[in-house]
Amino acid sequence: MSKLSVNSLFDIQVFVLLYESLNATTVSQTLGVPSSKVSRSLKSLRHSLNAQLFIRRQQGFEACDLANDIYPKMKRIVELAKHCETIEAGADTLRTRKLVIACPPTLSLNLLSHLQIRAREEQDSFLFHLKPCSSNIAELIKQQHVDIAVTYSAYNTEQLTSSLIATSSDYVLVARQGHPLLAHQFPLVLDDLFDYPYISFSGNELNDVIDPLECYALDIGRKLKLVVKVCFLADLMLQLEQSDGIALLSHMDAVNFLCQRGNIQALKLEKALCESINQRSGRYHYYLTQTRKNRTSPSWISKEIHRYIQANIASESEG
């Protein structure tokens, strides 16, 4: 590894581009250099690391395990080098840093504005990029395409760490205004929910998660009238407004969004009903997930995300 001192930033840039494209011609054209120079750079880097980085295939290259391991750090080196080019000597203007945060849509409605307000209070300049979580969120964090994520699962591995933000076991029933369940003269019971079309809403990164009410129906042998599954609030709003469908939510900002912008009403379920629904599926858990090393964001960002998510979860005290 000591031989890396003979390698240049150009060699690292060649490695990053080839890893991303797996095509030497593309690398050559991107950098505007002959293919022979690309080959020499790869050979030099391979010699320094004393290990193979790519396997040549008929249609291009295939990355080896070592290449997969070092790519995030090599990519970071190139990004830092490019950033250094933009810094003016002696400039006293506040530097703007980009921070990519992945978060379920139902939990991120007002998160951006909270972070922006706190950044001004801290006199920090950030370009926040909020995006939804996906099933490959762990890989995105490892490859530094995402800095911080709010996830439903804990990812405690050699590279990643997750800290519990909050748990949620309560539900709010949402339906169109004037829905029979919302005009119910007697206390609502779970059997009442099975009389109406059910819209399953999930905005998390888990593809195989089963809706809690679906689990409850299986346990008691009832047939749930599941008509559609959606993951965006706009789709949920339209489905509710145009039918007698109902849905269960756990996030207060999402409930308020639907009620303020759509022809939607909400009713918080009694604690006993929520406990029955959760008998099999259990509570929802929310985690803050990021890499164990190279945390470049200030601690106030994690604390602000924790505070916002905790305030957004439906709890027994919510009205």
User: In this structure, are 160 and 178 located in the same domain?
Assistant: no
Report the alpha-carbon distance of residue 253 to residue 309 in Å, rounded. Answer: 10
Mean pLDDT of 85-94: 55
Output the pLDDT for position 2: 53
Asked whether residue 179 carries a pLDDT value surpassing 90, the answer given is yes
Q: What is the mean pLDDT of residues 201-222?
A: 78
Host domain of residue 301: 96-167+285-312
Q: Is the pLDDT confidence value at 191 over 70?
A: yes
Considering only 12-26, 83-97, 135-149, 163-177, which range has the smallest mean pLDDT? Answer: 83-97
Same domain, yes or no: 60 and 107 = no
pLDDT-based confidence at 225, cuts 50/70/90? very high
pLDDT of residue 94 exceeding 60, the answer is no
Same domain assignment for residues 293 and 156:
yes
Please, what is the average pLDDT of the chain? 85
Same domain, 67 and 32: yes
Beta bridge partners of 200: 229
Residue pLDDT, tens place only, 306-315: 999 998 886 5
Percent residues over pLDDT 70 in the chain: 90
> Can you give the CATH number for the domain in which 132 is found?
3.40.190.10
